[in-house]
């Protein structure tokens, strides 16, 4: 049993992280820490865990931490946990600045703790099976993905999403699915559309290319669509369900991956903190492309 604590008490923590931790058969859900102590007490009581007023005490009492806080908050807190050797189940993006992402990546690497980034789509069972089938086949040369949602209350319900927009909230989902099929992104051109919409054109290390469009401010929520072209023809991703029970199951899959990585660090994982940092690198490049209207080489 891995002793795990939860950092965060918002909707995502309450709806996904907490039930996942409480119900996972190989997890001892130790406690919760949040900036709102009333919500911390309520959530911990509902899930049979301890409410912590002191974050460092929670870090001391566990072997791993599950994060459900805004990325700028996560980056600082996760470094505090990483330097003490704790395993980390992180949310995407791992940070909203490249400096913070690399600082967190370095902290994890220095202590050798396990890390998994919860790119939700990558841990949904149906999407995992689809990706694995396409990866085995290979030969994919281009793809297009769009994620379209309508979130009119972003400013009040999720200030960080209101500030950073769809690029930083939905862009990580795009990269988590396209990179396994086409390779790392080597260059990006980005521009804005209506509202917070962002359009991306990306070159990939395997020689292919992709386009993507993301928005949280569409008139109506449509969901996720992905098509991939290659030597074998065209494949379309079955529309993934975002119902809470399936999200809890996906989070438990991520937890199991963290357990396995903690026991077998030599195996590695494609969704570890290093991939999380590469995602931030691409998002930062897209941000710079929007600002100056230029193609940005990744890592240049």
pLDDT averaged over every residue in the chain: 95
pLDDT in tens, 56-96: 999 999 999 999 999 999 999 999 999 999 999 999 999 99
Which homologous superfamily does the CATH classification assign to the domain defined by 122-239+279-297? Dihydrodipicolinate Reductase; domain 2 (3.30.360.10)
Closest CA to 2 of 271, 269, 275, 261: 261
Q: What local confidence, expressed as pLDDT, does residue 155 receive?
A: 59
Per DSSP, 132 falls in state H
Q: What dotted CATH number matches 2-120+245-272?
A: 3.40.50.720
Q: Each residue of 236-282: pLDDT tens digit?
A: 999 888 889 999 999 999 999 999 999 999 989 999 999 999 999 99
> What are the residue boundaries of the structural domains of the chain, listed by start?
2-120+245-272, 122-239+279-297
Query: Is the whole model's pTM more than 0.85, yes or no?
Result: yes
pLDDT at residue number 300: 56
Q: Check residue 252 and give its pLDDT.
A: 98
Handedness of CA 63, 68, 71, 73 (dihedral sign): negative
pLDDT digit string, tens, across residues 175-231: 999 999 999 999 999 999 999 999 999 999 999 999 999 999 998 888 999 999 999
Q: ∠ at Cα 87 (85, 90), nearest 5°? A: 130
Residue 159 tokens read as 């200030």
């Amino acid at each position: 049993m891995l002793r795990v604590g939860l950092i965060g008490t918002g909707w995502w923590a309450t709806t996904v992280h907490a039930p996942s931790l409480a119900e996972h058969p190989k997890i001892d859900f130790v406690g919760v820490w949040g900036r709102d102590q009333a919500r911390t007490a309520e959530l911990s009581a509902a899930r049979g865990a301890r409410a912590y007023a002191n974050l460092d005490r929670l870090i001391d009492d566990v072997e791993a931490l599950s994060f459900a806080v805004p990325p700028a908050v996560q980056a600082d807190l996760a470094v505090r946990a990483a330097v003490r050797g704790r395993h980390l189940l992180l949310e995407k993006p791992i940070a909203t600045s490249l400096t913070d992402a690399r600082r967190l990546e370095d902290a994890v690497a220095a202590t050798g703790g396990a890390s998994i980034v919860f790119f939700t789509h990558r841990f949904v069972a149906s999407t995992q099976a689809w990706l694995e089938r396409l990866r085995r086949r290979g030969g994919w040369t281009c793809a297009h993905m769009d994620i379209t949602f309508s979130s009119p209350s972003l400013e009040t319900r999720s200030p960080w999403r209101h500030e950073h927009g769809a690029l930083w909230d939905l862009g990580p989902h795009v990269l988590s699915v396209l990179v396994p099929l086409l390779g790392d992104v080597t260059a990006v051109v980005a521009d804005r559309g209506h509202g917070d919409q962002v359009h991306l054109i990306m070159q990939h290390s395997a020689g292919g290319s992709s386009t993507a469009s993301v928005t949280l401010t569409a008139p109506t929520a449509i969901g996720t669509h992905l098509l991939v072209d290659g030597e074998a023809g065209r494949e379309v991703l079955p529309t993934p369900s975002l119902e809470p029970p399936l999200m809890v199951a996906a989070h438990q899959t991520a937890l199991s991956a963290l357990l396995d990585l903690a026991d077998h660090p030599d195996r590695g994982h494609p969704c570890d903190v290093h991939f999380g940092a590469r995602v931030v690198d691409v998002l930062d490049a897209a941000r710079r492309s929007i600002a100056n209207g230029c193609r940005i080489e990744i890592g240049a």
